[in-house]
């Protein structure tokens, strides 16, 4: 547990510019307090003790605003920033070096027993207010934008935005986990693509009307009248909607 505490302190010093010393972190960071209490309650949970782990979990919730079920498995170097309103369900699994902001929920779906909460692999960043629901897996080095709702598995090295969460791959590009302003605006890009596509289609309709007039008047066509094929921007629209382009 001391090794886990050391890793938690190290990640806070690395990722929070407001952290000015170890003593300040130990006294003033509710996310660290919640994780420390959870590591005790989780150890008791694995020993099969009744009630006491849940009591410690509720004590941590009362003191920090972070609710972590004692059954959740959390790796080392995890940082719950600010922490208020964070909920982590019983069968959740969080890998090493993950970062969770306030209001994050790792929740379950349905009332079945067994694995029903998410698994976050190493170095996942979950933005403020995001909801990750169900027995899904979020791949390593993934960022989930603030307010997103993630309901499906996410491949590694991805960025997820929107409701429901949609994936924008950024493989091979190192991104600062604190740089929320760098998240892509997928909705705006798709709307812009749709508007450009409408302009293209209106131009095609005008051209085809001209072709019909030429044919009706018995004049030979000066150019082919075939339409344009689907372009790469249409593929972006299909990916945003969750369909696989053919």
Instruction: Report if residue 246 sits inside a domain.
Output: no
Instruction: Report if residue 82 sits inside a domain.
Output: yes
CA distances from 5 to 39, 79, 172 (A): 10, 11, 31
Mean pLDDT is highest, among 36-50, 150-164, 178-192, 222-236, for 36-50
**pLDDT (tens digit per residue) in 24-69:** 888 888 888 999 999 999 999 999 888 999 999 999 999 999 999 9
Instruction: Report if residue 70 sits inside a domain.
Output: yes
**Do 73 and 117 fall within a single domain?**
yes
Cα 128 to chain center, whole Å? Answer: 10
Question: Is a pLDDT exceeding 90 seen at residue 86?
Answer: yes
**Do 26 and 14 fall within a single domain?**
yes
Domain residues for the domain of 112 are 2-182
Question: Is a pLDDT exceeding 90 seen at residue 173?
Answer: no
Q: Mean pLDDT across the stretch 89-97?
A: 92
- Going by pLDDT thresholds of 50, 70 and 90, the confidence category of residue 233 is low
Six-digit token string for 21:
């010393």
**Domain endpoint, select from 182, 198, 229:** 182
DSSP 137-149: EE-TT-EE-TT-E
Task: Tell me how many helices (H) and strands (E) the chain has.
Answer: 6, 15
Helices 2-15, 30-46: axis angle to 10 degrees equals 150
């Amino acid at each position: 547990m001391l090794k886990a505490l050391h890793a938690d302190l190290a990640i806070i010093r690395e990722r929070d510019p407001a952290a000015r010393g170890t003593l300040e972190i130990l006294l003033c960071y509710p996310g660290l307090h919640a994780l420390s209490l959870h590591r005790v309650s989780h150890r008791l949970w694995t020993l099969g003790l009744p009630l006491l782990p849940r009591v410690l979990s509720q004590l941590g919730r009362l003191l920090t605003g972070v609710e972590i079920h004692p059954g959740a498995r959390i790796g080392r170097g995890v940082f719950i920033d600010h922490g208020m309103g964070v909920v982590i369900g019983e069968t959740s699994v969080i890998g090493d070096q993950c970062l969770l902001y306030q209001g994050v929920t790792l929740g379950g779906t349905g009332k079945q027993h067994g694995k029903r909460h998410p698994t976050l692999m190493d170095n996942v960043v979950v933005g403020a207010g995001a909801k990750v629901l169900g027995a899904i897996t979020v791949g390593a080095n993934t960022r989930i934008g603030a307010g997103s709702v993630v309901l499906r598995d996410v491949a590694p090295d991805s960025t997820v935005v929107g409701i429901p969460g949609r994936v924008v791959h950024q493989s091979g590009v190192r991104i600062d986990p604190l740089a929320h302003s760098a998240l892509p605006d997928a909705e705006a890009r798709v709307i812009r693509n749709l508007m450009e596509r409408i302009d293209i289609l209106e131009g095609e309709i005008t051209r085809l009307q001209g072709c019909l007039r030429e044919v009706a008047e018995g004049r030979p066509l000066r150019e082919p009248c075939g339409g344009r094929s689907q372009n790469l921007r249409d593929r972006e629209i299909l990916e945003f909607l969750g369909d696989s382009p053919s």
